């Protein structure tokens, strides 16, 4: 079964049952993995703290991942591609195992698209994910001024989205940055440089991760 909606230009955006299942499993697995890591590093190993962190991760880490992948899909479809997300279950398992020992490397899957595409269009499809994460970081930013869990959601939302944008803009292998760099060096620098600087600030100065 396909679940259908419309993009801004009126093109049909469809999600198969398998794709929705893969997105849901990757969303939940990444959120649990991040919660395991965060509780282990920052809070101790209380079961109640872990449950709270899973919920917080679902609306920060999970949303960052989900909208990153959907952005790739939407832009691919806008350019006439057939596009669908596929989870990488081996990498999801490794993410969980890594989190248990204090290290998280998340490569949950990817949106695969096919059809005739120019280098510019391929670059725009790749760019959509990291730019979406930077926009999400801006949306989470105002929440940081609030106390308690709302402020924590803001802090986590800003941090994970900036780090995810920077990581995916690395111009290497299957990461988005390689396609963006091959298309337009100026656009690549405009997104990559501030993303990396912000991520470095969050990791080494704020100490969020």
Task: Give the 3-state secondary structure of the chain.
Answer: CEEEEECCCCCEEEEEHHHHHHHHHHHHHHHHHHHHHHHHHHHCCCHHHHHHHHHHHHCCHHHHHHHHHHHHHHHHHHCCCEEEEEECHHHHHHHHHHHHCCCCCCCCEEEEEECCCCHHHHHHHHHHHHHHHHHHHHHHHHHHHCCHHHHHHHHHHHHHHHHHHHHHCCCCCCCHHHHHHHHCHHHHHHHHHHHHHHHHHHHHHHCCC
Q: From the candidates 19, 69, 84, 121, which is the catalytic residue?
A: 69
Q: Which residue in the block uniquely carries the two structure tokens 């952005």? A: 71
Q: Contact, 133 vs 139, CB < 8 A?
A: no
Q: Report the DSSP beta bridge partners of residue 87.
A: 109
19 annotated active-site? no
Q: Contact, 71 vs 132, CB < 8 A?
A: yes
Catalytic residues: 69
């Amino acid at each position: 079964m396909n679940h259908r909606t419309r993009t801004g230009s009126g093109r049909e955006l469809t999600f198969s049952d398998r794709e929705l299942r893969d997105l849901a499993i990757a969303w939940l697995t990444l959120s649990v993995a991040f919660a395991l890591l965060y509780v282990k590093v920052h809070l101790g190993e209380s079961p109640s703290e872990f449950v709270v962190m899973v919920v917080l991760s679902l609306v920060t880490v999970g949303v960052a991942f989900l909208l990153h992948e959907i952005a790739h899909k939407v832009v691919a479809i806008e350019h006439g591609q057939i596009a669908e997300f596929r989870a990488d279950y081996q990498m999801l398992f490794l993410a969980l195992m890594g989190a248990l020992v204090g290290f998280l490397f998340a490569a949950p899957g990817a949106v695969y698209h096919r059809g005739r595409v120019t280098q510019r269009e391929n670059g725009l499809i790749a760019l959509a994910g990291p730019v979406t994460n930077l926009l999400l970081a801006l949306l989470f930013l105002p929440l940081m001024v609030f106390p308690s869990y709302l402020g924590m959601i803001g802090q986590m939302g800003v941090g994970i989205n900036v780090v995810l944008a920077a990581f995916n803009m690395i111009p290497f292998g299957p990461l988005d940055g390689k396609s963006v760099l091959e298309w337009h060096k100026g656009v690549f620098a405009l997104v990559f440089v501030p993303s990396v600087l912000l991520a470095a600030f969050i990791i080494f100065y704020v100490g969020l991760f």
